[in-house]
Each structure stands twice: as C-alpha cells, then as structure tokens.
Amino acid sequence: MSANKVQIKNKAAEEKRHWVRLTNTCNQRCVFCHDRRNQQGGVVPFEEIVRDLQKGRRRGCRRVVLSGGEPTLHPELARVISEARRLGYSHVQMVSNGRMLFYKDFVKALKTAGLDEVTLSLHSHLEGPFEQITRAKGSFRQAMKGLLAVLENDFIVSVDIVINKLNYKSLARTMKFFIGLGVYEFDLLHLIPFGDAWQNRRDVYYPIQKAKKYLDEAFELSRKEQVYLWTNRLPAMYLEGYEDLIQSPRKLFDEVAGMEQELKNVLETGRPMICSGERCGYCFMEAFCQDLMRLRKDKFLSARQPPPCLKKKQQLKPAVYRFRKGMSLYRFLDFFIEHRYYVKSLRCGQCRFNRQCDGAHIEEIRTKGFKALVPFKK
C-alpha cells in the first residue's frame, strides 16, 4: 500500500465523528444483528435528534453519522440532514441497508438536503445467502437497486460486510462484484457476541483459522490502488501479511463510548460486565475488560514488556496506572493503548516463550509487520 494511501486511511479512521440514532426499528431481521434489544419500534422524535446533533457540535465534531435501526424509515430524514447542515456539520453520512433507496425520488431528496455519503450494509452479492442473512424476502433486489441509485446520484458510497458462516467463502467474489459496479471502499466487520449474533452463533460463527485463505483473498484486493479497505474488530493475528489493514487502536474509543456506562459500573462496583463469561473469547474488547477488572482489584496496572525476540530492539519506559475513585475511563484507555495493547502472531504458538509472552505492541506490528516476531524453537 502506498504511503499516501496509508495516510488517507489513518486520517479517516481517526477523524472525530458523532453518531446519531434516528430509529428504533428496522425492515430486516439480520441473523447476526447485535442491536436487536433496541429494536422496540418507532422513531426518535425530531427535537431529540436535534439535541443530539447539537451535542456533537459542542464536542467539536464536523462529521455526523446517521444510523438506526434503519435511518431511512424516519419520516423526517431529509429534514434531519438539512438541520445537521444548518448546525455546521461539513460531512453528513448515513448507514443503511439500502432498501428504501430503491425509490429514486427519495434518493434525490436526500441529495438535495445535503447528504454526502452512504454506507450500505450488503453482506453478499448472491441472492440466496443475502436473504438468508437479512431474513427479509425481496430485500436483495431492493438493496441492489438502492445501491445503483446512490451511485447514479454521485454520493460517496461504501459497503459494509459482516463476515460470517454464510458468506466468508465468497467474500472476495462479493467485493469484486461491487468493485465492478463502482464501489471502491469497504469495511469488513468481525462478528460480536451480542444480540442475534450470539443467539444464532451456530449459524453465523465460522472457523476463522480455517477461513484465513478466503480472508486473504479479500485482503489482497486492498492492493488495488483505487480500493480502500478497512477491517473492524478483526483480531490482528489473522491479518499477518496485511498488517496495514489492522484497525487503528484509536477506534477503541468508539467501542468504549458504546458501552461507557457498563464499563463505569465495573470501575464503581468491581463486578464484571453482565456479558462476561463464555462470550469473552469471541469479543474484541476482552483484553480491555480484563485489564479494567484487574485494575479495580489490584489498584494498579503495569505496562507490558516487549517479547524476548524484540527486547534488544525495543526499550520501554516503566509505566504504572493507579486506580482512583472517579477516575477517567478514557485516560485509562489512553494508558491501555500505549502500554497494554499487545498482539501475537499465529506463529507465536511455536515459540517456547509463548505462555509467558504477551506478543508485541500493536503499533510495532502495524509498522513493522508480524515478521518482526521470530519464535524461539521449543
């Protein structure tokens, strides 16, 4: 990947943005939906949305992302977009399943209101798997016509794909299909163990180690100069050879913001998250949650040390974070990212120090690649 392309991706990933929920309903029932508990029906009142938009501007955000549920089901969507523009947002993005964009006049109204970018959740280019995932008959044809409509109206268009048991083998073919239509920006999302994804885990979770060859076929498409590919929550170890695709550590701030109150309860009470247990091994936030519990229990947490194979090349300053009542969750996250966010290669299992070693710092791997880790023979 070119240096310029890396800079563009890093800038986009770290750009401050404000997410606004418009609805608590959806016209699909995706088999892995993690938001099911919030799908109680109805839409968020316009006045409440405006207050949320104002909150984002006070935080200094110039980019807003409209989501749901399904945001296109809000009867005042165009008015919401216009209001976001009036309040000073310079970029308005919407995340949608695309079905309502089947209606061309509706699409034109959103363009006129000031919508800049549309991110479509399209998890396959094949009708059968697509509707197995959405559990909505007719959704494939509507979504594909919606995709064509936003492309025709010159929106910035990207496609989200949740990798799962029903689509991982055809992932690269799906991306090639969309590239052929003129889509060059993709976000590949890893399953998270919540909502329907956990309820239907036997149907959606796939053997990720065995799937690596299919994932690599998709990752290889990022080498095309016009293609911009992001990964979301994918464990870094499965990106060996494609380390430039490892998610920016700063994206953890979005994850923490999404479960802020639950994490604050951990700090206040010392009790683990309500979701802790079997799910943890499937969760992107496992290491952070474990560290938070350890900090609460032991009252301090030290920086991790580099692996034996890198010790001569990397020196870390001693660092300790101490628990304080009322402490900032986000300051601790800064400490975690700088001193505790370590990852391993799949090859580390061959090393005699594997059990004692935490791997290497995430930025070390993002810049130098997993090739920097050289296992010691057992």
**Is 199 within a domain?**
yes
In terms of phi and psi (left: phi > 0; alpha: psi -120 to 50; beta: otherwise), the region of 179 is alpha
Asked if 38 and 141 sit in the same domain, the reply is yes
pTM of the model: 0.93
**Is 251 within a domain?**
no
Which string of DSSP letters, residue by residue, matches 124-143?
A: -SSHHHHHHHH--TTHHHHH
The predicted-structure confidence for 225-283, as pLDDT tens digits, reads as follows 999 999 999 999 999 999 999 999 998 998 998 899 999 999 999 999 999 999 999 99
Asked if 282 and 216 sit in the same domain, the reply is no
- The model's confidence at residue 35, banded by pLDDT at 50, 70 and 90, is confident
**Is 321 within a domain?**
yes
Asked if 156 and 97 sit in the same domain, the reply is yes
**Is 188 within a domain?**
yes
| Spatial contact of 66 and 94, defined as CB atoms under 8 Å apart | yes
Asked if 223 and 287 sit in the same domain, the reply is no
Q: What is the CATH number of the domain that holds 9?
A: 3.20.20.70
Per-residue model confidence (pLDDT) at position 298: 97
Find the helix or strand (DSSP H, E) in which 186 lies.
strand 185-189
**Is 241 within a domain?**
no
| Spatial contact of 178 and 170, defined as CB atoms under 8 Å apart | no
Residues 239 and 2: their CA atoms lie apart, in Å, by 18
Which domain-ending residue is among 234, 255, 283? 234
Asked if 83 and 134 sit in the same domain, the reply is yes
Eight-state DSSP code of residue 376: P
What lies within 8 Å, CB to CB, of 18 at 6+ separation is 52, 53, 55, 56, 57, 59, 61, 63, 64, 65
Query: What is the chain's percent helix, strand, coil content, to nearest 5?
Result: 50, 15, 40
Asked if 152 and 278 sit in the same domain, the reply is no
H-helix segments, 125-211: 127-134, 139-152, 171-181, 195-199, 201-204
**Is 103 within a domain?**
yes
Q: Which of 311-325, 333-347, 363-377 has the lowest mean pLDDT?
A: 311-325
The predicted-structure confidence for 202-215, as pLDDT tens digits, reads as follows 999 999 999 999 99
Strands 228-232 and 300-302: unpaired
Q: What's the whole-number average pLDDT of the chain?
A: 93
Per-residue model confidence (pLDDT) at position 8: 64
Asked if 217 and 289 sit in the same domain, the reply is no
The predicted-structure confidence for 55-97, as pLDDT tens digits, reads as follows 999 999 999 999 999 999 999 999 999 999 999 999 999 999 9
**Is 253 within a domain?**
no
Note down the domain range covering 196.
3-234
pLDDT beyond 60 at 316: no
- The model's confidence at residue 29, banded by pLDDT at 50, 70 and 90, is very high
Residues 269 and 111: their CA atoms lie apart, in Å, by 48
Asked if 140 and 286 sit in the same domain, the reply is no
Which domain-ending residue is among 188, 219, 234? 234
**Is 322 within a domain?**
yes
- The model's confidence at residue 37, banded by pLDDT at 50, 70 and 90, is confident
Asked if 119 and 187 sit in the same domain, the reply is yes
Q: Which one, of 16, 211, 254, 28, lies nearest residue 120 by Cα?
A: 28
Number of domains in the chain: 2
**Structural Rg of the chain based on CA atoms:** 22
- Joined together, the tokens standing for residue 5 give 């392309």
Per-residue model confidence (pLDDT) at position 74: 98
Q: Which of 30-34, 50-54, 111-115, 313-317 has the lowest mean pLDDT?
A: 313-317
Asked if 15 and 116 sit in the same domain, the reply is yes
Asked if 161 and 296 sit in the same domain, the reply is no
Asked if 32 and 158 sit in the same domain, the reply is yes
Per-residue model confidence (pLDDT) at position 36: 82
Residues 370 and 228: their CA atoms lie apart, in Å, by 22
pLDDT beyond 80 at 317: no
Q: Which amino acid is at 214?
A: Y
The predicted-structure confidence for 150-201, as pLDDT tens digits, reads as follows 999 999 999 999 999 999 999 999 999 999 999 999 999 999 999 999 999 9
